[in-house]
Amino acid sequence: MANPSARLRANPCHLPGYQIERILGHGGMGTVFLARQISLDRLVALKVMSRNWAEDPVFVARFTREAYAAALLNHPNVVQIYDIGESGGIRYFSMEYVPGRTLAEVIRRDGKLAPETAVAYIVQAARGLQHAHERGMIHRDVKPDNLLVTEQGVVKVADLGLVKTPESSLPQPERLIPESSDSRIGLASLPLGMTGHRIALGTPAYMAPEQCRNAAEVDHRADIYSLGCTLYALVTGRPPYEGESAVELMSHHAYTPLIPPEQISSRVPKELSAIIQKMMAKEADERYQSMAEVVRVLEDWLGVHHAGRFTPSDKDIERIERYARTFHTAPTALLRQRVVHWYLMVCLLAAVLMMFFGRLDWTFGLAGMILHSAGLYFILTGVAHRSYLFRRVNQFLIGLSLGDWLVGLAGVALFSILLWGLGLLWVWTGFGLIGAALAIGLRYGLDRAIDQERYVPVAKCQRLLQRMRITGASEEELQLFVAKYSGKHWEEFFEAIFGYEAKMRTRTLLLRAGNVGEREKFASWREPIINLIDRVEKERRARRERELLERVEQARLVAEGVTEHAARAQAIATADALVHRAEHLRAANAREIPPSLQEYQVLVASGQAPSLATTLASTTTRRESMFKILWIVSGIGLISLCTLWAAQNLLFLRNSAPGEIVSDGLLSMSLNHAWKPLHVSGLPVEFTRWFDSWNVGIAGLLLILSRHSRHVGPALLVLLGVIIIAFGHHLGIRSFDPIRSHHVGLMLGIALVLIGMRFDR
C-alpha cells in the first residue's frame, strides 16, 4: 500500500477541503504543508501524519486527544489549531499559519537582542503559556524555534501538538521522532538518537533537568525552565549549554552550574540576570512556581504596569483618537455612506408608495434592484477584502449537502416561474441589471478610494501598537486600549486592525465591565447571520469531532485486546467525556475577564477613574436643539388644528343629528360619516381643506414622540410618514371597502414612522 503522505505530496488535491500549495517541512512524524482552506479562503499550516504513525492506533489516539485539547486554546499568543480530521487513511490537523520569523531566526540574523526587546518577546510567550497552563496543558518543547514573531510584533507559541494534558493516560510512544524546524510553524527538532519509553519529548538544548530524567513526572515548571533558557539565548546570542550529543546536553542541564548571562553579555542588567537564573533553577521548587508569576516579574522589570493596570501615555491616547477620527472622516467614506443611505431610502419608499398607488410591477422591480445590488456588492467586496462574513457564508454553502442545493435551486426555479406567470420576470430582471450596475459602480468607483484614504491611519495605528508590544503590553490590553479611545464609532476602526472575532470579544468585555458609554454598533445586521452560521457550523464540527474521537479510541482499545462491543461502548463514553470537558472549557473562556478590565471595573466603581459614559457621551449641539424645538412646535400645531377641526365637526353633528354620537359611536362615524374639512375665517380654503380627519392629530402626536431623532435619514422617514398619515388620502392613496383612504394612509404612515424611529435607534 502506498504511503498516504507520499501520495499526498505527489497529488496534493487528494485531501478534501484544502488546496495544498507547498511543503513547509517534514520529519519523522509527518509532513507539514502550506495549504488554503477552501471553505474559509485562508492559509493554514496542515500537518499530515506519516504512514508509520497513522497505522499505530495507540499513537493516533494519544495524538488526536492532545491535538483536540490544544485546539481548545484560544489566545492571541498561541498558534490556533483549527481542525482535526482523517480522510482516506490520511490523518491531519490544520493550524494557524503565521507569516513572520521564529526567534531562532531573529537570533541568527541579529545576534543577541537588547534586553528590553528580548523580555518583551518572552513576556508575550509567557502569557500564551500561562493560558495553556491554566487549562491543564504543558507544552514541553519551548524553544526559540517554537516562538513565532508576526510582522506586527506579536509573539505566538507554536507546536502545541506535543502538549501534555491531564487526560493523557495513554502510554508514550517509543519511536517518536519530531520534525525539523521551519520558520513558519516552529516544528520541534530532536537528534535521531533521542528515543525511548521514558525519554521526554523536547529539544535537549532547552530541556528542564527533570524532563531529561522522566517525561511522565514533568509539570508546568518545566516550561518555565525552557522559557528561561530561551530568554538566556536571546540576551546572550547562544544557548545556555552546548554539547556534542543529546546525552551531554542533558547532563549539563542536570548538573553543570549556569554561567550568569551578565558574565557573557555586559548589556544584561543584574536584575534581569537574576530573573533568568531563577527561571532556570535546577530544582523545580526553586523556580518561579507559576507562569503568572513569571509574567508579573517580567512586566515589573519592563515597567509597563503601574498601579496594577495598563496605563498608556497621553500622547498614545491622542494618537489613537486622531487615527480613529481620520479613519471615520475619510471624505470618500462619508460620501459612500450618504450614497448608500439615500439609495436604500429612495428605493424602499418608492417601492412602498408604488404598492399603495397600485403599481405592483414597479414595487417588485425596485425590490429586485435592491436585492441584486446588495448581493453583487457583497460578492465583489467579499472577494476583494476576504471579509469575515463572506468567508463564513462561503463555509456554510460549501458545507451544504446535495439535497440542500437541490432544494435551493428548486426554490429559485419556482420563484422565476412565479414571476413569469405574473408577467414580472422582465421587470425584475431589468431592475436587477440596474442594481448590479450600481453595485459595480460603488465598488470600483468609491471603495478603492476609501481603501487608499484609510490605509494610512490603519498603518500608523499598527506601527504604534507594534511599538507598544515591544514595551510589553499584552494583546488584550492593546485591544481594550483601542476600543476605549476610538470614540463611540470604534467598531469599524477596531475591526480593520484586529478583525471581527476580536471585535466581538472586546465588545463583550466592555459590556461586561459596565459604564462603557454610548457606543454605536458597526454593521450589526451581520451578527444574526453570523450567529446562525456559527450554530450550524458548531453542530457540524461537534458531530465530526465526536465521530473521529470515537473511531480512534475504539481502534486503540481493540489494538490493546478489548472486544469490539466493549471497545465501542468505552470509546463512546471517552468521546462524551472529552466533548463535555471541551464545552465546559469554552464556556469558561467566554466568561473570563482579563485582569486589566477587572482593574478598570474596580477603578470606575471606586470613582478613581472616569467612566466611559462620561468621556464618550455625545453632546447636544445648538442645531439639534433648534431642530427639536421646531419638531415639537410643528406637532403641537397639527394637534391644535385637529382639535379645532374636531370641535367644529362635533358641534355640527350635535346640532344636526342629536344622539348620533351616542348611538353609533365615534368608530362607526369615522368609517361611515363624511367629515367636514376645517374652516377658519381668514385662511384660504385651499389650505384648510387638508385638515379633515383625526389623522392630523395622530400625525402631530407622533411628531412630538419622535423629537429625539438624531440622524437626517430616519428623521426624513418619520417626516414622510407623518405627511402620509395626515394628508395621504389627498395624495392619491387608494382605498378598499370598508376601509377608507385616510385609514390606509394612517396604516402606511405609522409603519414608516416606526421604521424611521427604529433606524434612528
- What residue has cell string 432544494? 407
Cα(80)–Cα(70) distance, integer angstroms: 8
How many CA atoms within 13 Å lie on the side-chain side of 56?
A: 19
**Positive or negative: CA dihedral 699, 700, 701, 702:** positive
- Antiparallel, parallel or unpaired: β 309-310 and 18-26: unpaired
Asked, as a colleague might, if the bond just before 257 is cis with ω within 30 of 0, I would say: no
Asked if 223 is an active-site residue, the reply is: no
Q: Which of 579, 581, 583, 551 is nearest to 567 (CA)?
A: 551
Catalytic residue, from 56, 83, 110, 141: name it. 141
Cα–Cα separations (whole angstroms), residue 175 to 29, 195, 201: 10, 6, 11
Cα(369)–Cα(375) distance, integer angstroms: 10
Output 282-285 pairs: Cβ under 8 A, ≥24 positions apart.
Answer: 282/209, 282/254, 282/255, 284/208, 284/210, 284/219, 284/221, 284/222, 284/225
**Positive or negative: CA dihedral 466, 469, 474, 477:** negative
Q: Tally helices (H) and strands (E) across the chain.
A: 31, 10
- What residue has cell string 467566554? 590
Which residues are CB-contacts of 643 (< 8 A; sequence separation ≥ 6)? 697
SS3 for 652-714 is: HHHHHCCCHHHHHHHHHHHHHCCCCCCCCCCCCHHHHCCCCCCHHHHHHHHHHHCCCCCCHHH
The full length of the chain comes to 761
For residue 423, list its beta bridge partners: none
AA identity, residue 458: V
SS3 for 393-451 is: HHHHHHCCCHHHHHHHHHHHHHHHHHHHHCCCHHHHHHHHHHHHHHHHHHHHHHHHHHH
Specify burial of residue 555 (Cβ count, 10 A radius: 0-12, 13-18, 19+).
Answer: middle
Q: Which of 41, 38, 32 is nearest to 8 (CA)?
A: 32
AA identity, residue 669: M
Order of strands across the sheet that contains 155-157? 100-102, 147-150, 155-157
What is the set of active-site residues? 141
